[in-house]
């Protein structure tokens, strides 16, 4: 599609109003929010397209974190999550590289954990305080055609959903659990959780139908979605079928595109309130894939999900 320019920001749409590319060096990225107009326009572009891809940014860890922090408070990597190699708790190491520099082995817990990233998901939906943005920066990329990321537009998918079904879906609450997606991706490995895993990430509860940054409705979905409840707290016995039917609908080709990393310095910034994504699964011949993610915590009215009184009602049932 044709490019256009807003206040000096060059934008190339990727898939209609979903996804855009922009070539912008880190010096300009970091200075955007020191100048009201460029910073405001960058947020407007993000709100419109939900996914922005920057090429050749020149960002390092420090600059990556600095730019992300201009967008809001950052989620800290839990101690068990592995931030030793990247050296900061504000970056999640989602690479196939161990702390000693070796590649992740196929029989390791980390390999199996990463299999869940190849399922369609929304980052941190399993946290009660959900995320708003994810910013994933490449430090090293594998050969062409490996390690790509796919994105799905949950806004347009919801807009096209039959009106007769929407009112019912608006009443649903979703239980999200990290270990549910991990068990789906690797059932034998995650048949039993370690005590640390079980305690550190309890389920979270969020409405199925949410609002995007402009107030439009959108689906809040992920492979982490384990159970659906109705407005009275009753568990739906066909939860998984409903959830995966919705995911299948959102991930039709008319709502998705594939983003290629191409080179180190690529930064992909997406809005978890308006999209789902999935990574290419690890392969033994992939080579080093060094990508690091900052996560901006949501500050909107639905950021904390469903109220404590509602979740207590669920636990009683």
Q: What is the pLDDT of residues 162-182, one digit of tens each?
A: 999 999 999 999 999 999 999
Residue of 51, 298, 22 lying closest to 153 (CA atoms) = 51
Domains and CATH numbers, the chain: 11-316 (3.60.130.10)
Highest mean pLDDT among 21-25, 57-61, 72-76: 72-76
**Would you state the pLDDT for residue 199?**
80
For the record, the structure tokens of 198 come out as 């079980």
Nearest to 315 by CA among 194, 175, 128, 207: 175
Distances (CA, A) of 247 to 12, 119, 221, 259: 27, 10, 7, 19
Cβ-in-10-Å burial (0-12, 13-18, 19+) of 294 comes to buried
pLDDT of residue 26: 57
- Tallying the residues shown for the chain, one arrives at 317
Beta carbons within 8 Å of 101's beta carbon, 6+ residues apart: none
Percentage of the chain exceeding pLDDT 70: 91
The pLDDT tens digits for 103-118 are 999 989 889 999 999 9
């Amino acid at each position: 599609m044709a490019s256009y320019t807003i206040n000096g920001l060059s934008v190339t749409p990727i898939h209609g109003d979903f996804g855009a590319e922009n070539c912008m060096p880190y010096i300009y990225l970091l200075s955007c929010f020191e100048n009201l107009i460029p910073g405001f326009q960058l947020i407007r572009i993000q709100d419109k397209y939900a996914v922005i891809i920057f090429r050749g940014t020149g960002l390092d860890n420090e600059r990556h974190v600095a730019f992300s922090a201009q967008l809001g408070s950052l989620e800290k990597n839990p101690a068990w999550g592995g931030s030793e190699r990247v050296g900061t708790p504000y970056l999640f190491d989602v690479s196939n590289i161990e702390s000693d520099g070796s590649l992740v082995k196929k029989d390791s817990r980390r390999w199996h954990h990463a299999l869940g990233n190849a399922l369609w998901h929304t980052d941190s939906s399993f946290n009660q305080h959900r995320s708003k943005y994810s910013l994933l920066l490449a430090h090293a990329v594998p050969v062409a055609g490996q390690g790509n990321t796919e994105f799905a537009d949950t806004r347009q998918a919801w807009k096209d959903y039959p009106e007769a079904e929407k009112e019912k879906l608006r009443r649903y609450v979703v239980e999200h659990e990290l270990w549910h997606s991990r068990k789906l991706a690797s059932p034998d490995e995650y048949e039993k959780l370690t005590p640390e895993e079980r305690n550190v990430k309890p389920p979270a509860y969020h409405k199925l139908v949410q609002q995007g940054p402009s107030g439009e409705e959108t689906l809040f979905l992920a492979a982490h979605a384990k159970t659906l409840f109705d407005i009275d707290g009753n568990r739906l016995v066909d939860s998984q079928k409903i959830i995966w039917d919705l995911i299948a609908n959102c991930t039709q080709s008319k709502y998705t595109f594939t983003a290629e990393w191409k080179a180190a310095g690529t930064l992909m910034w997406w809005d978890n309130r308006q999209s789902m994504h999935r990574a290419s699964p690890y392969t033994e011949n992939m080579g080093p894939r060094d990508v690091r993610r900052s996560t901006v915590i949501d500050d909107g009215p639905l950021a904390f999900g469903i109220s404590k009184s509602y979740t207590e009602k669920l636990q009683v049932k």
